[in-house]
Amino acid sequence: MGLVAAREAVDLCRFSTDPEDVLDIHHVPGTRSVVMVSVTHPSAPLREGVVRVHTHPSLLLISPSGNDTKVTSIIQAELHLTGVPAGIVDSLVPKGIVGFFDDLRAYSSKTLKLNLNQTLTGWV
């Protein structure tokens, strides 16, 4: 095991394109939302040597913005990194965030059968 133990999260996520599900604060047509929160589940017991991350209720909004895509995220998670030097935390957390979006992209393309090079319906 390295300096920092492996981390995992068990989150319930809801992916939506329904305008009724998106916060009605300056709603932009075509906005997608991802809402997530940590859960426990019998098929995902705690594993020895792996620290369970706790994700508080969090939101990710993806909306068209002219020719670009605007991403707003409110994600709060307890990574349980006590005792780890700040420099190591500062270098690991951005990689974890990038990994989250890579995993989200991979899941979306596999599960939702999306062509990631194609613009989604309703997007500018």
What would the pLDDT profile of 6-25 be if each residue is shown by its tens digit?
888 888 888 777 666 555 55
* Global pTM value: 0.52
In DSSP notation, 43-108 reads TS---TTEEEPEEPSEEEEEEEETTEEEEEEE--EE---TTS-HHHHHHHHHHHHHHHHHHHHHHH
pLDDT average, residue stretch 92-119: 58
Bigger pLDDT: 86 vs 111: 86
6-111 to CATH, choices 1.20.1260.10, 3.40.50.1820, 3.40.47.10, 3.30.530.20: 3.30.530.20
Percent of the chain having pLDDT more than 70?
Answer: 47
3-state secondary structure of 7: strand
Domain ranges of the chain: 6-111
Bigger pLDDT: 21 vs 59: 59
Bigger pLDDT: 88 vs 24: 88
